[in-house]
Amino acid sequence: MKKHNFYAGPSILSEYTIKNAAAAVENFAGTGLSILEVSHRSKEFVAVCNEARALVKELLDVPTGYEVVFLGGGASLQFCMVPYNLLNKKASYLDTGTWASNAIKEAKLFGEVDVVASSKESNYCFIPKDFVVAEDSDYFHFTTNNTIFGTQMHKDPDMKVRLVADMSSDIFSRPVDVSKYDVIYAGAQKNLAPAGVTLAIVREDALGKVERPIPTMLNYATHIKKESMFNTPPVFPIYAALQTLQWYKELGGLEAIERMNVEKAGILYDEIDRNKLFKGTAATEDRSIMNVCFVMNDEYKELEADFNAFASAAGMVGIKGHRSVGGFRASIYNAMPKSGVEALVATMKEFEKQH
Ligand SMILES: *Cc1c(COP(=O)(O)O)cnc(C)c1O
């Protein structure tokens, strides 16, 4: 039976990525060697890494003065690397979920942290809008898409201070005005590659402004200077990332991808709003086009386990919601085809008919 992969991360990758990655496991770039066993300093892999960095710049229209690096440690290491490199005295953070609050916790190790607003009291079901960011903040940090709670900031905010964003679960889902940011980072395992690599886009002149010594591996400047080859980078995930980036370019770039994502998410939210059994958990205006969270309507609460079993029998994988929200979460990243969303909607309609 056809499986539809709604896992939140690691998550669905395009057929293009998986086919090319599988072929390179057998024979990488005609070398007669597997991508799993080649030197990261081989000319073939250096070319892969450089092409991937260049494609990130092309797709996101990254202005000059920025560098793209591939790092280890996941997005979670960026929670520490960002303040290590950028927080001199004070930084402002928006608390919109579990990942945002993890980032806040790390930043507090490095200086004063002003949490400008939080939706924690409402179990993070919306993105706070009325808040003031102190103009003397070194930067303003936020999570563009809250993977667990299914909320998303749909625009780059207009601020007097420089922006830093965790875009782990919506990078490449839509165009972004990179020029407003000092750092954008994203773990690869949602919209780019298998787990193991993290992408960072860093404005070079934001660096060198803190007095503390920075350990070599945690210093963005190290990785920029060595073009992501200071130490052994995650070779296979970077190869897979390149395939995904090439596929994004073939699809027509981020504006085309955003249109597809908006359409897919619309199909699913329309069904959640229409179907008597279900309701969405995120505030309507903040609904994510990547992670769609929903629960059983109050009168049908006892059907939750039944729907889970019914959906898995129909080939839906990974729709159980995160334990902090409950219910269901369908992650519909870039690689999820419209037909996968339609299959989930058909399953919801069928389940409704039976109840
Ligand atoms: C998944 C995720 C993380 C954590 O990523 P790791 O690579 O596991 O450290 C951080 N932020 C967001 C928004 C995420 O979706």
Ligand 1 test: best mutation among 98, 147, 153, most atoms within 8 Å of CB? 147
What is the distance in A from the centroid of ligand 1 to the CA of 339? 27
Ligand 1 test: best mutation among 81, 95, 99, 197, most atoms within 8 Å of CB? 99
Q: Which residues pair with 112 in a beta bridge?
A: 90
Which tokens belong to 159? 């601020």
Give the β-pairing of 112-118 and 278-280.
unpaired
Nearest to 174 by CA among 53, 290, 48, 319: 290
Which protein residue's CA is at the shortest distance from atom 3 of ligand 1? 75
Give the residue numbers marked as catalytic: 99, 166, 190
- Provide the pLDDT for residue 57: 98
- Provide the pLDDT for residue 25: 98
Alpha helices in the chain (DSSP H): 15-26, 43-60, 74-86, 98-107, 220-225, 235-251, 254-274, 304-313, 338-353
What is the distance in A from the centroid of ligand 1 to the CA of 255? 24
For the chain, residues with pLDDT lower than 50 are none
User: Which ligand 1 atom lies nearest to the CA of residue 187?
Assistant: 7
- Provide the pLDDT for residue 213: 97
Q: What count of other Cβ atoms lies within 10 Å of the Cβ of residue 141?
A: 27
- Provide the pLDDT for residue 173: 98
Q: Tell me, rounded to whole angstroms, the distance of Cα 120 from its chain centroid.
A: 21
Contacts of 18 (CB under 8 A, 6+ apart): none
Which protein residue's CA is at the shortest distance from atom 12 of ligand 1? 168
- How do residues 43-62 score in pLDDT, each as one tens digit? 999 999 999 999 999 999 99
What is the distance in A from the centroid of ligand 1 to the CA of 189? 8
Nearest to 290 by CA among 336, 328, 324: 336
Left, alpha or beta for 29 (phi > 0: left; psi -120 to 50: alpha)? left
User: Which ligand 1 atom lies nearest to the CA of residue 189?
Assistant: 7
Q: Which amino acid is at 55?
A: L
- How do residues 173-223 score in pLDDT, each as one tens digit? 999 999 999 999 999 999 999 999 999 999 999 999 999 999 999 999 999
Please tell me whether the overall predicted TM-score, pTM, comes out greater than 0.95 for this model. Answer: yes
